[in-house]
Amino acid sequence: MPSQEEIFEGVKKALVDALAVDDDEVTPKSTLVGDLGAESIDLLDIVFRLEKAFDIKIERGELVPDDIVNDTQEQYVKDGKLTELGLAEIKKRMPFADLASFETNPMVQNLTTILTVQDMCYIVEQKLNSAN
Amino acid sequence: MHWYWIDRITVFESQKRAEAVKAVTLAEDHLHDHFKFAPLMPGSLIIEGIAQTAGLLLYEAKGYKEKVVLAKIPKFTFHQINVVPGEILTYKVCLETFREDGGVASVQAYRNDELMAEGELMFAHLGQAFSDQSLFADGDMLDMMRLFRVFEVGVAADGTKLLDPNCSK
């Protein structure tokens, strides 16, 4: 089982390769979209790289639950915003994410913008823990 | 009009690798302007040909069910760009990752034994997110596989001959 530092270094390499950013731009608190310039397709690239680097499997929708984001039944999303039920579900499904600022204006389109480097490390660590 | 940038697939090992050939010819209109007295195969069309090769490998790997598109070119390097009419390029692709929402291939282009270009291509399945858009019709990719003669050389994942899914044994 790699140490937290090794996990961070592995995540950093994946992000540097996927996003063509410099090493020193990748800090635990960097946001993937805002600070590192990730676009939606980059998230898939990052997942591929993390899976390969750590020999783990990150299922579709684990970073951002796509069934909630794409909800058309107005159960989780209404007028572009997460409903209370949607927020509760997001908290359950994205326990790694700091939702404090997002909750003040929970526009679903902004959900991917909250993901940080530390969140990626958390996901990798959880996956490695559950494999051992 | 169709957008074919390879002529034939010569190696096709399901879920693993494929090779394709592209014969560059002055009969191609685009070479008349790129460039007028000094025709040169555009690098972007070399990438497109490689992407078609890898895309079909991914399409077959997912059981002919997902429409596959080139989503991103994480890295790509041209070592040579002087590809001219009369030359034959060989594209080699190796599937590094494939899963329900896409895949990654490492790729190379050769002129004889000379490495012309290499890189990494990432593909995504169109899936439900693009269900309201028809970038290409159902069956198009399977038709491409037949056109490129994949079923003459293809090897299935279990090592047996790769069969056209719409033809009886």
Q: Return all residues near B61 (Cβ < 8 A) that are at least 6 apart.
A: B14, B15, B95, B98, B103
Say how many CB pairs under 8 Å bridge A and B.
Answer: 32
CB contacts, 8 Å: B129 with chain A: 70
> CA dihedral defined by A97, A101, A106, A110, rounded to 10 degrees?
-70
Tell me the CATH number for domain A1-59+115-132: 1.10.1200.10
Biggest alpha carbon–alpha carbon distance for chain B: 51
Is B121's Cβ below 8 Å from some Cβ in A? no
Nearest to B101 by CA among B134, B132, B68: B68
Fold of the domain spanning B8-155? Thiol Ester Dehydrase; Chain A (3.10.129)
Angle at B102 between CA A130 and CA A50, to 5 degrees: 35
With cut-offs at 50, 70 and 90, classify the pLDDT of residue B100.
Answer: confident
DSSP strands (E only) in chain B: 8-13, 17-23, 68-78, 88-99, 102-111, 114-125, 154-155
Residue B112: per-residue pLDDT: 94
Q: Each residue of B65-76: pLDDT tens digit?
A: 888 999 999 999
CB contacts, 8 Å: B72 with chain A: 41-42, 45
| Tokens of residue B57, six digits | 């490998």
In this complex, which of A18, A41, A60 lies closest to B71 when CB atoms are compared? A41
Is A109's Cβ below 8 Å from some Cβ in B? no
Domain boundaries, chain A: 1-59+115-132, 64-114
Say if residues A33 and A72 touch (Cβ distance below 8 Å): no
Per-residue pLDDT of chain A (132 residues; tens, 9 = 90+): 899 999 999 999 999 999 999 999 999 999 999 999 999 899 999 999 999 999 999 988 889 998 898 888 899 999 999 999 999 999 999 999 999 989 999 999 899 899 999 999 999 999 999 987
Please say if B34 is a catalytic residue.
yes
